[in-house]
Amino acid sequence: MRHRFTTSVAAVVAASLLLAGCSGGDDEEPASASAPSEPTSSATSEPPEPMYWPLTGLERTGDAPRHPVIVTKVDNTSSSAPQVGLGSADMVVEELVEGGYTRLAAFYYSKVPADIGPVRSMRASDISIVPEGATVVTSGAAPITIKRINGAGIPWITEGAAGVYRDNSRSAPYNLFAKLHDISKRLKAKEEPPAYLPWGTEADLPKGGKASTLTADFGGHSTTWAFQKGGYVNTDSYAAQGDQFPADSVLVLRVKVGDAGYKDPAGYPVPETKFAGKGAAMLFHGGRLVRGTWTKDGLTGAIELSTKAGELTVPAGHVWVELVPAVNGNVTFAK
């Protein structure tokens, strides 16, 4: 805020006339008026605009990282236990894969762990999930998927690259890991990424209804959350003890699912999440549920959220996004 101070001008004019006796006398010159003082002002400089992390909406101090957003594909079955590195993620997106199971896309930008894994393969669904400019760490993909990922211009790193290794104490294919911190040092970002979600504050949220637990059901796998001590705990997580993702909110987006056009080695058709267009949204925050709608212009468009009253923003913090199929998927919650 600018403050301005001015000095008022006071003009004082004094005149006196002295009359001499009958002999007369000289008139005294009138006193000259004091010159008006120059107005003075002082102003404080405007504070710098705050900066925010694109994947959490939290305020940032200091420069942005030199590396891009790094998205790592992580297995999400019991065979992956214990998952390593989820506790350092800015955001996690859970997506459907074959057999009704899920895989995680863990996003890293503000903080990068030493190791992450087990690392698994990409899907065509990732084209609509991975933000522009990000690099994906993966165990690879089917040829048809690699062709589409390359066509979308998404860079990726896999086994054979420096920092991607096998942990021989685990069974394949659940033993591929990545030294993410070392990898990040070799990556250079062209520019800072835009906000992934429309960020706001808790005060911006509509009132909503109570919801202390929720379960996102994908068919072959379900993920359950409980609101505890101001955040959400994944009660059936495969993450290592003390390395669970610190969810401040859980955002459920109901999505259409199609056929990716091929089958996995076990013969299951590989699904493809169609994360474009619009669908129902459920934002769980602070033990409450706010219902709304999501829209996304094409596979690479920005995610927008709204309610009947207008724009819906997500309180800044760590968010787990559940991309639950609109058909053959389900979301339940309890007060």
pLDDT tens, residue order, the chain (335 aa): 333 333 333 333 333 333 333 344 444 444 444 445 555 544 567 888 899 999 999 999 999 999 999 999 999 999 999 999 999 999 999 999 999 999 999 999 999 999 999 999 999 999 999 999 999 999 999 999 999 999 999 999 999 999 999 999 999 999 999 999 999 999 999 899 999 999 999 999 998 999 999 999 999 999 999 999 999 999 999 999 999 999 999 999 999 999 999 988 888 899 999 999 999 999 999 999 999 999 999 999 999 999 999 999 999 999 999 999 999 999 999 99
8 Å CB contact between 215 and 285? no
Q: How many C-beta neighbours within 10 Å does residue 46 have?
A: 8
DSSP string, 66-77: SS--EEEEEE-S
Whats the size of the chain, residue-wise? 335
What CATH class has 52-334?
alpha beta
Domains in the chain: boundaries? 52-334
Q: What's the predicted TM-score (pTM) here?
A: 0.85
Residue 133 identity: G
CA separation for the pair 301, 9 (Å, rounded): 61
Q: What are phi and psi of 208, to 5 degrees?
A: 70, -175
Cβ-contact 249, 240 below 8 angstroms:
no
- Separation CA 103–CA 96 (nearest Å): 7
219's torsion region: left (phi>0), alpha (psi -120 to 50) or beta? left
Cβ–Cβ < 8 Å for 333, 288: no
Helix (H) or strand (E) holding 146: helix 143-151
Q: What are phi and psi of 146, to 5 degrees?
A: -60, -40
Radius of gyration of the chain from its Cα atoms, rounded to whole angstroms: 31
Instruction: Name the phi and psi angles at 100, rounded to 5.
Output: 80, 10
* Token digits of residue 75: 């297995």
